[in-house]
Amino acid sequence: MDLSLLSFIVMGVAAVLLSAVMITRRWPVSAAMVLIGVMTLLAGMFGLLDAHFAAAAQIIVYAGAIMVVFVFVIMLLNLPPEELRYGGVTVGEMILSGLGVVVALLLGTKVGRGFLTTGIEQLGLQSSESAPHLHRSVFAEGENVKNVAASLFVDYLWAFELISFLILAAVIGAVVISKKKGAEHANAA
Amino acid sequence: MNYQTMLAAVLLIPLLGSVLNGFFLRSAPRLVTVTVATLAIAIPFVLSCLLVFGPVSAGEVVRTDLFTWISVPFNEGRLEIPFSLTVDRLSGILLLIITGVGSLIHLYAGEYMSHEKGVYRFFAYLNLFVFSMLSLVLGSNMVVTFLGWEGVGVCSYLLIGYWYSDEANARAGMKAFVANRVGDLGFLLAMFMSVKLFGTLDYAQIAEALTNELAANNGPMLTAIGLCLLLGVTGKSAQLPLYIWLPDAMAGPTPVSALIHAATMVTSGIYLMTRMSFMLVHSPEAMTTIAVIGAATALFAATIGLVQNDIKKVLAYSTVSQLGFMVLGCGVGAFQFGVAHLMTHAFFKALLFLGAGSVIHAMHHEQDIRKMGGLIKKMPITGWTFVIGTLAIIGFPGLSGFFSKDEILYYAWSGTFGHPLLWATGALAAACTSFYMVRLTYLVFFGESRVEHAHHHGHGHDDHHHHHEVHENPLAMTLPLMILAVLSVIGGYVSMPHAIMHVLGIHADENLITQWLSPVISAAKQTMIAAHGDAHGSAALEWGLMGTSTLIMLVMSGFAISLYKAGPKGGESIAQAVGGLYRLILDKWRIDELYQAVIIEPLKKAGDAFFKVGDRAIIEGIINEGPRGIYLVTSVLSDVQSGLVRNYLKVLFIGIVALCIWIFI
Amino acid sequence: MLTLPELGLYFSFLMFLVGLAGVMFRKNILFMMLSVEILLNAANLAFVSASRLTNTIDGQVVMFFVMAVAACEAAVGLAMIISLYRTKASIEADDLKALRG
């Protein structure tokens, strides 16, 4: 077992466990902190998958920018403790959890694995093992950012431009929604 | 233009006029509307004259097949019903009456309706009526006739209810329509049985198919057809028991009463019976029934006419009574004189109605004869023509009614299916006719004037803001009166009795109308002679009956004048003497109430029961309980739609699990 | 023996389940949104793993788009939380029933 595989498994298990820890936190701030940890672990996994640009973006955009907004809002709301109770877990929710475990086990079996690989074959794609010559061309050392950029600004140019409209709309929406009622009257006065 | 094209044009030009007025000239000036409508009848009149006095009088039958209307499999063959028109001598007479009297009445109506708004509707209906009436008389087969039969019913309904904003008028229209529907059922049944028996509905083909042998084997069937036709006739020609609609039909404008409810539509029953005469005479039962119903109607309606005070109501009951005479004439086998009386009646009754309309128009819609009187000085033309009409209808010797009515009464006694009792009933009816017509004329035109100026009636459709003195109407209204008056005088000479012809030294076997109609009724006549022998009349009997009815007429007229010399209260002493009977007649024998109690109320009760069981319980039950069930189901489903986002997510998750299980297993 | 990308897909699936549990079971909208971030991250891991598995770059590009959408979602969602807390004085998901049918 080589080192990269071992570290990938450790990071993956840690990410899943930390996720579970996060959703059981009572205080939002600690949950946000745990989530930042999860994201950092994911960034490491991206790195091991030779997706260096994704790893960097994960740290900078997600853990850096988005989570800062979360923490900022959590601080802004400053929720009182009575707003933060867990509430009980009902019988139905327990059954649902059980179903989730069943599905997880199903995926872990050979049936699930067979589906995974045949699914990929059905999609007409080749796995990296069967096409080792492609390995270098896309995931060559230091070529990752260049490749992502080439795909993003050539094949996905229109989608990329449209994303800018989405972000613009989100900015305007956020301003409008969170604006205090009667703010314009206050300004007028 | 050949005669076939002319025949089609005669039928279609009124339709064209109706369409023009109804759809394209709605906002045209009144003069344009009236001109189009009148020309749409006058042009066919000219064409009809060319047709009737051309080929038809020469003995030809002009027939034109417009298109195949109905073609259905029937008895291993096909039943072909073409939309074809035929003009022979019978339909020729009707054609001239409809278009001739029709044009005069259109001309008159243009002036009569001059205070109305939206008069295009009136003339569109009137032209449509003429179209329907023409297809009734011109149809070569019973189906085309039935089309016209229904068409005139619809137009009658539309025109009676012309002032539909008044509920009574709308109800009168509906009553006429419903009563006619009952009669139409009879006509329909007669058609069904004719198809069954003869395999055709064409008049000429039926006449050919009806051999003596066939008639001998199918006696009951022929009687049934005859009685069903009679039911149709009682509906359309306002005979007992379906006459009730005609008096109410006077709610329509007076020109409509003159054209539809006196001169043309109501006589279509007589036309139909004459057309089918070759078949009717095979069934003595049917003929006798027809005669009895005609005589009974003549007397019955005449008694009601005695006490009416509305000028149009008197004329309406008079019309029912005169139609009874015509039906009586047909029933005793004297079809030609039924048609002759149809023609003279069309002249003098149209004249009387138009005269009444002239009075009503001048009196600003006052119709009560107790509020008239002495009008002859103010309206000389209307007055004197009305007097001529009255003399004609009561059978004053020398005028048209005298000849046609006396011929009918003579045959009621001596005809093949005649009986002295039928004559007696008819003579009694004629006596009543003399009384009420003279009473009407005297109260309206002679004696002291009882015209009031203080108030004014109206249907809410006239806008006279100031009252003029009653005065004569313009030429457009008086000209038709004068023409009809002339016709009322001379129209009867076509059916001059044998006895008089003999005295005058006219050496002919038959009078004019009998000669003219002989192609149509000869088959019937031969059948009657073969079955019952020749008619058992004689010149002495004819003179005797003629003298008797003239005497009755003179006595009753004199009686009426002496009674009403002092004004409308003259009859009160007699009314008080007979008390209950007077009130019964005044209430029109309470026939309407009888129908109300015997037919309408049970129908209403049945309808109510159906409403409660069928509508309330079943249909509304389904409609109400069905949604309630749906509501129960949906209320469960809408509980799923809880509004809680987390629940939605849970359901979504269950879906994902199900999908995974489906894929993996 | 599983390869790295395949393992990544399994981990992404498990993370997704955990995140889904968070969204479903936590009543606090703030936690629900944090759980949604886990869901999006799990999706990202799946995209990158699939990209590696199939030797194509598109998965990483899509991950970039998902990140942009996540940023928008966070901005609008947090604005809505602030607005809600202002008007209803509560951020309990079960207190919001305006969608009830």
Contact residues on chain B for C99, CB-CB shorter than 8 A: 641, 643, 645
Q: Which of C20, C23, C97 faces B643 most closely, judged by CB atoms?
A: C97
A32 touches chain C (CB under 8 A): yes
- Are B118 and B57 in contact, with CB atoms under 8 Å apart? no
Helix, strand or coil, per DSSP, at residue B69: strand
Answer for the pair B347, B101: CB distance below 8 angstroms, yes or no: yes
C-alpha distances out from residue B174 to B166, B347, B637, Å:
13, 28, 52
Phi, psi of A50 (to 5 degrees): 65, 15
Residues 6+ apart with CB under 8 A from B170: B161, B164
Of B537, A62, B569, which Cα lies nearest the Cα of C43?
A62
C48–A46: do the CB atoms touch at under 8 Å?
Answer: yes
- The ipTM is 0.90
Out of A147-161, B236-250, B508-522, C31-45, which region has the weakest mean confidence (pLDDT)?
B508-522
Q: Could A96 and B653 be called an inter-chain contact, meaning their C-beta atoms sit closer than 8 Å?
A: yes
Minimum distance, in Å, between the CA of residue A168 and any CA atom of chain C: 9
C88-99: average pLDDT: 79
Kindly give the interhelix angle for B219-236 and B284-305, rounded to the nearest 10 degrees: 20
Measured CA to CA, the distance from residue B407 to residue B414 in angstroms comes to 10
B188 Cβ contact partners less than 8 Å away, ≥ 6 residues apart: B146
* Residue B638 distance to chain A (closest CA, Å): 19
Amino acid at B296: A
Give CB contacts under 8 A, 24+ apart, made by A70-75: A70/A32, A70/A35, A70/C33, A70/C34, A70/C37, A70/C74, A70/C78, A71/A29, A71/A32, A73/C30, A73/C78, A73/C81, A73/C82, A74/A28, A74/A29, A74/A32, A74/C30, A75/A29
**Which residues of chain B make contact with A111, given a CB cutoff of 8 A?**
664-665
**Among B105, B83, B85, B395, CA closest to B265:** B105
Q: Do B642 and C24 touch (CB under 8 A)?
A: no
Q: Do A111 and B654 touch (CB under 8 A)?
A: no
Report the residue of C14, C20, C24, C26 to disrupt the B interface, i.e. the one with the largest count of B CBs within 10 Å. C24
Residue A31 in contact with residue C31, Cβ under 8 Å? Answer: yes
The beta strand positions in B524-595, using DSSP E, are none
Neighbours of B540 (CB within 10 A): 9
Q: Whole-prediction pTM value?
A: 0.67
Using CA atoms, how far apart are residues B104 and B41, in angstroms rounded to an integer? Answer: 9
Peptide bond connecting B241 to the previous residue in cis, omega within 30 degrees of 0: yes
Residue B296 in contact with residue B242, Cβ under 8 Å? no
Q: How many CB atoms lie within 10 A of CB B368?
A: 16
CA of B330: how far to CAs of B291, B327, B340, B641, in Å?
7, 5, 11, 81
Q: Is residue A61 packed enough to be buried (19+ CB in 10 Å), middle (13-18) or exposed (0-12)?
A: middle
Query: A25: which chain C residues are within 8 Å (Cβ-Cβ)?
Result: 31
Q: pLDDT confidence of A114, banded at 50, 70, 90?
A: low
Q: Which residues pair with B85 in a beta bridge?
A: B64, B139
Tell me the per-residue pLDDT of B229-244, one tens digit each, with 9 for 90 and over: 999 999 888 888 888 8
Mean pLDDT of A70-95: 80
Give the position of tokens 């809002």.
A73
Q: What is the pLDDT of residue B455?
A: 47
Q: What angle do CA B593, B595, B600 make, to 5 degrees?
A: 110
Residue matched to tokens 């006549």: B525
Q: Helix H segments across B237-334?
A: 245-248, 254-258, 268-275, 277-280, 284-305, 311-331
- d(CA B649, nearest CA chain C) in Å: 6
Q: What burial class does residue B451 get, using C-beta atoms within 10 Å of its C-beta: 0-12 exposed, 13-18 middle, 19+ buried?
A: middle
What are the tokens at B476?
């457009």
Say if residue B543 is exposed, middle or buried (CB neighbours under 10 Å; 0-12, 13-18, 19+): middle
Q: Which helix (H) or strand (E) holds B67?
A: strand B62-74
In three state form, how does the secondary structure of B335-356 look? HHHHHHHHHHHHHHHHHHHHHH
Question: Which residues face C92 on adjacent strands?
Answer: C28
Distance CA C20, CA C17 (A): 5
Residue B146 makes CB contacts below 8 A (sequence gap 6+) with: B139, B184, B187, B188, B191
A28 in Cβ contact with A79 (< 8 Å): yes
Integer Rg of chain A from CA: 22
Count the alpha carbons within 13 Å of B102 in the hemisphere toward its beta carbon. 33
Reported as a pLDDT band with limits 50, 70 and 90, residue A115 is low
Q: Which pLDDT value is given to residue B334? A: 87
Strands B62-74, B77-87: pairing is: antiparallel
**Which residues, in sequence order, are CB contacts of C89 under 8 Å at separation 6+?**
none
- For chain C, which chains pass the contact test of at least 3 CB pairs under 8 Å? A, B
Cβ pair B646:C27 closer than 8 A: yes
CA distance B319 to B388: 17
In this complex, do B664 and A112 lie within 8 Å of one another by their Cβ atoms? Answer: yes
Residue ranges, chain B, pLDDT below 70: 453-468, 535-537, 664-665
First to last CA, chain C: 51
User: Three-state SS string across chain C, please?
Assistant: CCCHHHHHHHHHHHHHHHHHHHHHHCCEHHHHHHHHHHHHHHHHHHHHHHHHHHCCCHHHHHHHHHHHHHHHHHHHHHHHHHHHHHHHCCCEHHHCCCCCC
| B496, B403 contact by CB (below 8 A) | yes
- Mapped onto helix, strand or coil, the DSSP state of residue A181 is coil
pLDDT computed for residue A111 by the predictor:
53
- Whole-number pLDDT of residue C50: 86
Shortest distance between the Cα of B660 and any Cα of chain A, in A, equals: 7
Q: Which residues are paired to B70 by β-bridges?
A: B81
Q: Is C24 exposed, middle or buried (0-12, 13-18, 19+ CB in 10 A)?
A: buried
DSSP 3-state of B82: strand
Q: How far is C54 from chain B (nearest CA, A)?
A: 22
Instruction: Give me the total of CB pairs closer than 8 Å, taking one residue from chain A and one from chain C.
Output: 224
For residue A169, list chain C residues with Cβ-Cβ distance below 8 A: 72
